[in-house]
Structure 1
Amino acid sequence: GALDPAVELVDLRVDPPFRRGGPAKLWRLLGQVQPQVVHGFTNVGCYFAVPLARLRGVPATVATMGNAVDDPLLSRAEWRLASVPLHMAHAVTGNSREVVESARRILKLPASRLHHIPNYVDPERLPYQDAGLRAEVRAELGRLGLPSDAWLVGTVGRLTAQKDPETFLHAAAGAPSEVAGRPVHWLWVGEGDLREATAALATQLDIGSRVHLLGNRDDVPRLLQGLDLFVLSSSYEGMPNVVLEALGAGLPVVSTEVAGSDVLVLPGRTGWRVPTGDAAALAVAVAEALGQPEQLRRYGQQGHQLVRCEFARDVVVPRYFALYNQLLSARSRGAGDL
């Protein structure tokens, strides 16, 4: 979305990889701007911004981790390299308690410098149980061949091993093809390296007619209004932002037990959680969910309320500013790193 007028966006105009020319430009920018706080978000932000800011004498530096150290996104050797700027930062934030705990347990970061601040969404930018949009999306999907009365079970994510489309497809194959006389269709929004393999597996499992790979879309909030149930099949996450968006849109969720899902997908309140990689359990949960339309509606409402109360931008962002102020106050008192 648009930035607040008080926020100045600076484009360093660096083509990937960032290490070619990026650090030198960032070094010069830090000297020109002389910021009070530098906050590095994952990957490039942590690798380069935090060490350069410390060398420039920036009073407060923060690094944010988006995945747990024991998640397979990086090898142990890569995590050891990544831990260098994390140890240099005055404070490290993690988007789930599992991420924070992995930093303490594996990277040996002191607990006093670790802070849990969850991901967030702006509920005002998410359509919520909009009947007009739902009819519009359903009509569009109907033109793609989906039955107008179908249950639509969908997900949004890259077609990569992390998101585990294989488990998604096996769940689709194992779940009933009809519930309460209505056909069940499964949608995947997103692209990735496993696109061809995913399409081939859908054909192999003989579910190609009811699994639809929609590719990348720039209207995901709108598209969510056409779904009946959101499914996350990921094998690992830090905290799944897409689940926040689904809940904010008023959708009940079936999720694997990845990091951060425990505070979002609440059994008996907002959805169902199943073990990672367990396609059979995922299929059972989807069938159970679709068999209880009134519960679906109630879970969608309660999920939306959960996001507004605990994971909205206006609730979470002040926690970052409180951390910045805490760090600056400690530095001014000569209290050292927190």
Structure 2
Amino acid sequence: MSPDAELVAAPLIVHLIHRLDVGGLENGLINLINHLPPERYRHAIVCLRDYTDYHLRIQRPGVEIISINKREGKDWGHYLRLFHTLRRLQPLLIHTRNLSGIEGQLLAAVAGVRLRVHGEHGRDMDDLYGVSRKYRWLRKLLRPLIGHFIAVSKDLEAWLIGTIGARPQHVTHICNGVDSLQFHPRLGPPAAVGPPGFLCEDAFVIGSVGRMAEVKDHLSLVQAFILLIAEHALPRDRLRLLIVGDGPCRHACQELLGQAGMEELAWLPGQRDDIPQLMRAMDVFVQPSLAEGMSNTILEAMATGLPVVATAVGGNPDLVYSGWTGTLVPARAPAMLADALNDYYRLPALAGSHGQRGRRRVLDEYSLNAMADAYLAVYDALAAPPAT
């Protein structure tokens, strides 16, 4: 059988997500498709909303991407469009992700999709701690339709079992993986980034990467940066802030920096395609989220050899060993965040040792191949014929 024929014969997995755009969940999905054996499964991505050029990162041929074009609010017609899409595709398995996709489990069951997987990757502002009665009720109602759950952090795994009532044998904790060849420590001085004159020769760059949405709380990072200069008396001519990403909170961060007279010390370039290069210009990485599943950007920063300051929420403590590979601080605590950053500025050897240990941890535990193998094991176990 020719390779093309093998691909056509391979069973289809439909991945149902909200929207295919820049984000940790979406990055993880593309990494998964790129690293699963192409002869084992075909893939289609069904987006409840739409998709952007981010899909060009997919390296596997033949991945169909479909937009359901769900309108804001209640769009009853999107259920019918999703049902007809699933009937046309006739996948062996559907893999939904997060709250926005879980209703697709019911449509998949009605459409005759026999194998159904649901993944939890993190929470949004409207239910930071997974305690909403409405959302818990929805998950519990749909739980019998789901053949297997995947949680990207131990926190989410415990919540699925203890709060949602999933059976432990039906839940698998699978860590995200990172490309440690693309993300690697810098060799020599950092490349020039930002507007002319942004980086001086001995600049100390505090960096972050992510959607600039309220749940990511980049405002706390900006407040901490201001405190470093105003109260910790770190020199303005050395300190720099680099926040990569776009979203509704970007303007508020820029305004706060302007009010403090520090806009020239910061660069908020919006969405970028050169994240590995920009990370190699940083001296410390910050993840200030209010809630998190398992952060791809923390893993990328660790692979880059950066010490990580992160909030002690969700899956962050699984990744950052405070005092060993980085520092954990409470959420919404700019003063404590500033204290942690001050330590790394004043103790360069500490920053270097934490970054080296983080890099070693990524190489040992968070490879893309290990992640793909774990997902493949779940898919294969569900697809295996029943024992006689």
Q: What range describes the TM-score normalised by the shorter chain of this pair?
A: 0.7 to 0.9
1:310–1:316 Cα contact (<8 Å) kept: no
Q: What residue number does 2:95 align with? A: 39
Task: State the alpha-carbon separation in 2 of the partners of residues 193 and 298 from structure 1.
Answer: 35
Does 2:186 match 1:130? yes
C-alpha distance in 2 between matches for 1:296 and 1:272:
10
Distance 1:76 1:157, change over 3 A: farther
1:224 counterpart residue number:
279
Q: Which moved more, 1:100-109 or 1:264-273?
A: 100-109
Q: What is the deviation of 1:12?
A: 2.3
Q: Which residue of 2 aligns with 1:275?
A: 330
Partner SS, residue 213 of structure 1: strand
Q: TM (normalized to structure 2)?
A: 0.75
What are structure 2's unaligned runs of at least 5 residues?
1-29, 43-61
2:223 is aligned with 1:159? no
* Contact in 2 for aligned 1:12/1:25 (Cα 8 Å): no
5+ unaligned residues in a row in structure 1: which ranges?
none
Residue identity opposite 1:319 in structure 2: A
Q: Note the C-alpha offset of 1:177.
A: 4.8
Residue 155 of structure 1 aligns to a residue whose secondary structure is strand
Residue 171 of structure 1 pairs with residue 224 of structure 2: yes
Letter of the aligned partner of 1:166 in structure 2? Answer: L
Letter in 2 for 1:80: W
* Aligned partner of residue 65 in structure 2, secondary structure: coil
Instruction: Give the alignment of 1:122-271 within 5 angstroms.
Output: 122-126=179-183, 128-131=184-187, 135-136=190-191, 139-141=192-194, 143-175=196-228, 176-178=232-234, 183-271=238-326
Aligned: 1:80 with 2:137: yes
CA deviation profile, 1:200-249 (whole Å, cap 9, x unmatched)? 22233443332332222121111101001101111111122210111112
CA distance in 1, matches of 2:71, 2:197: 39
Aligned runs of 1:68-107 on 2, under 5 Å? 71=128, 75-107=132-164
* Two-structure CA RMSD over aligned residues (Å): 2.9
Deviates further, 274-283 or 76-85: 76-85
In 2: Cα distance, 1:42 partner to 1:120 partner:
19
One-letter amino acid matched to 1:41: R
Matched, 1:115 2:172: yes
What does residue range 281-320 of structure 1 map to in structure 2 within 5 Å?
A: 281-320=336-375
Q: Compared with structure 1, are the counterparts of its residues 20 and 143 closer, same or farther at alpha carbon in structure 2 (3 Å cutoff)?
A: farther
- What one-letter code is carried by the residue in structure 2 that aligns with 1:89? I
Structure 2 CA distance for partners of 1:135 and 1:112, relative to 1, 3 Å: closer
Does the 8 Å contact 1:142/1:148 carry over to 2?
A: no
Q: CA deviation at 1:46?
A: 2.7
* Percent identical: 28
* Equivalent pair of 2:139/2:164 in contact (CA under 8 Å): no
Q: d(CA) in 2 for partners of 1:326 and 1:240?
A: 27
**What SS does the aligned partner of 1:290 have?**
helix
Q: Secondary structure, in 3 states, of the residue corresponding to 1:52?
A: helix
CA contact (8 A) 2:185 2:303 kept: no
Q: 1:161 to 1:28 in 2, by over 3 A?
A: closer
Q: Deviations over 1:57-112 (max 9, x none)?
A: 43421100112595268954244335544442111111111112222233233333
Cα distance in 2 between the residues matched to 1:209 and 1:31: 55
For 1:218, what is the secondary structure of its paired residue? coil
Query: TM-score normalised to the size of structure 1?
Result: 0.85
Higher mean C-alpha displacement, 2-11 vs 162-171: 2-11
When residues 20 and 305 of structure 1 are mapped into structure 2, their CA distance, relative to the original with a 3 A threshold, is farther
